[in-house]
A and B are shown apart, each in its own frame.
Chain A
Amino acid sequence: MRNCLRQAVEFRANFWANVLTNIGWVLALTIFLKLIFKNTTSVAGWTEGEMFLLVGTYSLVRAISDTLFAGNLSDLPNQIRLGTMDFTLLRPVNSQFFVSMRFVALNNLGQLVGAGGLIAYGVAHASVHVSEVSILAYTGLIVCAVVIFYSLSLMAMTLSFWLVRVENLYVALETVTSLARTPIDVFRAFGRGAEFFLTYILPLAFLAALPVKALFGQITSGVITVGFCLAVGLFTLAAAFWSYAVRSYSSASS
């Protein structure tokens, strides 16, 4: 942990550049949403405040992920290609844990603050009553969302044991998951099938939309249970896939 901080601070310029990018990113999102709501009052039933909450929640999930594991996982193909994975496997710690959490990217703290800002703005502008129970449900589903996102990322990146050169894999994953930033109700336009797919099969709905709905008390405890089961199930699947993949690791040269 301390080493991560040192690693982060080691490149001071990089650290501040990162903070600046995050601020810029939050600003861009705000302007984008403001522009949309200049022209309309709701998107698929979502008001301006709710949209800010949605985008903020998605940013929060991504910020937590980026801090904990995203950077590490996106580096996995490199580790495999160059064979530095050898040292990871050599350590007396769970290899999956080590690969996922090796560096805690503390320079992503700016992103967390930005996400917090978006959420606070959203809550203030969405005229909905937020109860203690719904905050609890929201928090619980955020945890599930991070676990789901982690499991999806790990499974995608684990493919690099066979594909070796897949730098673009993580970018592809990011693009797909950023669908979660749009209100799921939009996809109803494509039929119930699309909504079902995004809720249960590729559970992007759980990454942001459903936690936000939980905050408004708009979903049943059944959906929350589904979210929890999906998180546990996907995590187990990802872990199994990982240990299977490690067996086919072939290292690189001497």
Chain B
Amino acid sequence: MALIEVQNLTKTFRTPKKEPGLAGAVKGLFSRKVTEVTAVKAVSFEIAAGETVGFLGPNGAGKTTTLKMLSGILYPTSGAASVLGHTPWQRDTAYLRQISLVMGQKNQLWWDLPAADSFLLLKEIYEVPQEDYEKRLKELVDLLDLGPLLNTQVRRLSLGERMKCELVAALIYAPRVVFLDEPTIGLDVVSQKRIREFLKDHQKNAGSTIILTSHYMQDIQELCDRVVIIDHGSVVFDDRLAILVSRYSDSRLLKLTFENTVETIDLERFGKVMENDGTTAVVQVERSETTRAAAAILSQLPVSDITIDEIDAEEVIRRVFTEKPAASPSAG
């Protein structure tokens, strides 16, 4: 049985519609138009124990809403879900003890106190035995290189440092299921990488099941076995990342290194030249033509090295959201 099972999960928000301007505001005091927004539409998926799954989708696609329902914060309008055998929104203590949610845009740490105090409070709330707590805290602090910052008030920490502390707070009680909602948002490249590496390590050692949402393709590429794409509240894709790329892209990239200078004009008959500086070039060819083009290039040009690559996943995702169904396999 899957660790996480979600069936037809739907969430509709009712929001009062406010008309702009003073007149609109006054009118709104007496009669309000209520609009219904369906944030999540009949979403279904399954996740096995130990899997790391990435949720991808543009802003407002329903990723966060789904995570909030799975962590018991929001009550769904309809549908069912089971995580670790519990229904999340019943918020059983036994369930909440085993899960954790990190939100990149919100902080759960005590703003005016050092992070160490927040960890202690969490230790009490989650009833972590002293021994486990010390061992885990040491591990986490070492991995994230947090040592001296633990005793600094949270409001004096930088965003990156705070995010690291947030991760410690989320993992200090060794949850079995971890929901990460944009854990790298707003961070610089170095901090992003650091957090990614930490999560990879954690994944390997702790064996927890992770759902991750992110706008950064690299997070998903490096951490996730599987990707679920949500758009306008519905799941539009759910499979391995490699399959996504092969399904949604009808072409591949030939990366070439030459022994001596090759003009762009000589490459153009094989495919679309993406870049060429004379000694290295990237040529985009149709998927079905890949082998033939590669053979032709090898026999006709002074090639010293050739690699065949999939199109950048980021590019593929962009296509999924801009073109949508256009990229079915038959189109290629």
Q: Knowing A93-B93, A250-B13 touch, does A3 contact B74 (C-beta < 8 A)? A: no
By a CB distance below 8 angstroms, the chain B residues around A167 are: none
By a CB distance below 8 angstroms, the chain B residues around A90 are: 71-73, 96, 99-101, 108
Which one of A7, A84, A247 lies within 8 Å of B112 (CB-CB)?
A7
> Any chain B CB within 8 A of the CB of A6?
yes
Q: Knowing A250-B13, A250-B74 touch, does A6 contact B103 (C-beta < 8 A)? A: no
**Contact present for A249 and B73 (CB under 8 Å):** yes
Which one of B97, B103, B105 lies within 8 Å of A92 (CB-CB)?
B97
A237 → chain B, closest Cβ, in Å?
21
Q: Which range holds the interface residue count of chain B?
A: 20 to 34
Nearest residue, chain A, Cβ from B108: A87
Interface residue ranges of B107-126 to A (CB < 8 Å): 108, 110, 112-113, 117, 120-121, 125-126
Which one of A3, A85, A248 lies within 8 Å of B110 (CB-CB)?
A3
**Contact present for B106 and A89 (CB under 8 Å):** no
Interface residue ranges of B154-187 to A (CB < 8 Å): 181-182
By a CB distance below 8 angstroms, the chain A residues around B136 are: none
A145 → chain B, closest Cβ, in Å?
30
By a CB distance below 8 angstroms, the chain B residues around A174 are: none
In angstroms, Cα B104 to Cα A253, docked, is 12
> Any chain B CB within 8 A of the CB of A182?
no
Q: Knowing A86-B73, A89-B72, A92-B96 touch, does A254 contact B101 (C-beta < 8 A)? A: no
Interface residue ranges of A85-109 to B (CB < 8 Å): 85-87, 89-93, 95
By a CB distance below 8 angstroms, the chain B residues around A11 are: 112
B174 → chain A, closest Cβ, in Å?
13
**Contact present for A89 and B105 (CB under 8 Å):** no
By a CB distance below 8 angstroms, the chain A residues around B75 are: 246-249
**Contact present for A253 and B112 (CB under 8 Å):** no
By a CB distance below 8 angstroms, the chain B residues around A247 are: 75, 89
In angstroms, Cα B103 to Cα A92, docked, is 18
In angstroms, Cα B106 to Cα A128, docked, is 58
By a CB distance below 8 angstroms, the chain A residues around B101 are: 86, 90
In angstroms, Cα B89 to Cα A6, docked, is 33
In angstroms, Cα B106 to Cα A91, docked, is 15
> Any chain B CB within 8 A of the CB of A140?
no
**Contact present for B117 and A6 (CB under 8 Å):** yes
By a CB distance below 8 angstroms, the chain A residues around B105 are: 253-254
By a CB distance below 8 angstroms, the chain B residues around A248 are: 75
By a CB distance below 8 angstroms, the chain B residues around A10 are: 112-113
Interface residue ranges of B64-99 to A (CB < 8 Å): 64, 68, 71-75, 89, 91, 93-97, 99
A108 → chain B, closest Cβ, in Å?
18
> Any chain B CB within 8 A of the CB of A117?
no
**Contact present for B68 and A86 (CB under 8 Å):** yes
A206 → chain B, closest Cβ, in Å?
33
**Contact present for B182 and A254 (CB under 8 Å):** yes
Which one of B13, B95, B181 lies within 8 Å of A254 (CB-CB)?
B181
By a CB distance below 8 angstroms, the chain B residues around A84 are: 106
Nearest residue, chain A, Cβ from B105: A254
Nearest residue, chain B, Cβ from A250: B13
In angstroms, Cα B89 to Cα A93, docked, is 14
> Any chain B CB within 8 A of the CB of A251?
yes
By a CB distance below 8 angstroms, the chain B residues around A89 are: 72-73, 91
> Any chain B CB within 8 A of the CB of A217?
no
In angstroms, Cα B252 to Cα A102, docked, is 57
> Any chain B CB within 8 A of the CB of A71?
no
Which one of B63, B73, B103, B121 lies within 8 Å of A3 (CB-CB)?
B121
By a CB distance below 8 angstroms, the chain A residues around B96 are: 90-92
Nearest residue, chain A, Cβ from B69: A251
By a CB distance below 8 angstroms, the chain A residues around B74 are: 249-251
Nearest residue, chain A, Cβ from B15: A250
> Any chain B CB within 8 A of the CB of A83?
yes
In angstroms, Cα B71 to Cα A11, docked, is 34
- Residue among A6, A93, A254 with max Cβ neighbours from chain B (10 Å): A254
- Residue among B68, B73, B125 with max Cβ neighbours from chain A (10 Å): B73
By a CB distance below 8 angstroms, the chain B residues around A91 are: 96, 125
In angstroms, Cα B73 to Cα A11, docked, is 32
In angstroms, Cα B63 to Cα A254, docked, is 9
Offer 6 A-B interface pairs, CB within 8 angstroms, sorted by A. Answer: A11-B112, A87-B108, A90-B108, A249-B73, A250-B13, A254-B64
